[in-house]
Amino acid sequence: MRTVNIHEAKTQLSRLVEQAAKGEPFVIAKAGKPLVKVMPLDAPEAGEMKRLGFMAGQISVPDDFDTMGAAQIERLFAGK
């Protein structure tokens, strides 16, 4: 995420707000210390972001996933 100082934010506010509205949030800092985060109103809050199922339909899990490599693992632990 981009961080800009207050002076830059003042001089470039219109451009920065347009970018934030398009989904590119930024932080305004004073003397290198972050003060505020500017983000679009429709952006989900950090705790609201849903990650479960974000790759639905893009990957598949084999039916034997739970037993894959069981014979090799058994040999490794049994020392055979």
Q: What is the pLDDT of residues 1-29, one digit of tens each?
A: 899 999 999 999 999 999 999 989 999 99
Closest CA to 38 of 9, 63, 76, 60: 9
Average pLDDT over residues 67-77: 90
Spatial separation of the C-alpha atoms in residues 43 and 31, rounded to whole Å: 27
Domain boundaries, the chain: 2-40+49-78
The CATH number of domain 2-40+49-78 is 3.40.1620.10? yes
Spatial separation of the C-alpha atoms in residues 32 and 74, rounded to whole Å: 55
Question: What per-residue confidence (pLDDT) applies to 3?
Answer: 96
Question: What per-residue confidence (pLDDT) applies to 43?
Answer: 63
DSSP single-letter state for residue 22: T
